[in-house]
Amino acid sequence: MPEIDRVARIQQDWARERPDLDVTPQGVIGRLHRLAAHLTTELTAVYEKHGLGEGEFDVLAALRRAGSPYERAPGELAQHTMVTTGAMTKRLDRLTAAGLVVRRNAEGDGRRRVVALTPRGVDVIDAAFTDHMANEHRLVDQLSAADRASLEATLTRWLALYEPPTRG
C-alpha cells in the first residue's frame, strides 16, 4: 500500500463516507493549513530567541521599515502589521516595558502621538530580522527555484482575490 499524507487520508475517509461530495479542495486547503502551522512554529522559534512573540516582532519590523526616525502613529502601525488594533495596545505595553519602543508626542504636533523604536529596539529588530530572513531562506530553499517562483505567483494571484493589491 503506498504511503499517503494525513490530508489524503482524510480525503479518502470523506470520499468513502460522503461519495456525493467532491472533497478535492481539501487537498489544497488542508495542506496549506497544515503547512502554515508548521511554518509558524519554525518562524516563532527565531522570534523567541530574541525575546519576542510573533506580534511584537511584527510591530518592531513595521517601525523599522518606516525608516529613520523609526516611528509611526498607533493607527498606522495597525495598517502596517498583521496585529489587530485590539491587540496593538497590549503589544505596545510589552514593548515599552522592555525598553524597545517609546510612546511620545509627534514632533511639531503635540496632539498627535507616535510610537518610536528606541536605540535598543533598533538593535533587537535588526538582529531578529537578520535571523528571520536566514530562517525563511532555509525554509523556502527546501523547494526548487522553479517551484518557489510558481508557488509565489499562484499565492499572489489567490491572495489578491481577498486583499487587492495597492499601488506603490
pLDDT of res. 88: 85
Decide if pLDDT at 168 tops 70. no
pLDDT of res. 79: 82
Mean pLDDT of 113-133: 97
Q: Which three cell numbers stand for residue 69?
A: 526616525
Mean pLDDT of 36-52: 97
Mean pLDDT of 106-113: 76
Q: Residue 98 carries which side chain, given as an amino acid letter?
A: A
Q: Which three cell numbers stand for residue 150?
A: 510558481
pLDDT of res. 6: 93
Decide which of 44 and 104 is more confident.
44
Mean pLDDT of 100-127: 90
Q: Residue 134 carries which side chain, given as an amino acid letter?
A: A
Mean pLDDT of 57-75: 93
pLDDT of res. 125: 98
Decide if pLDDT at 84 tops 80. no
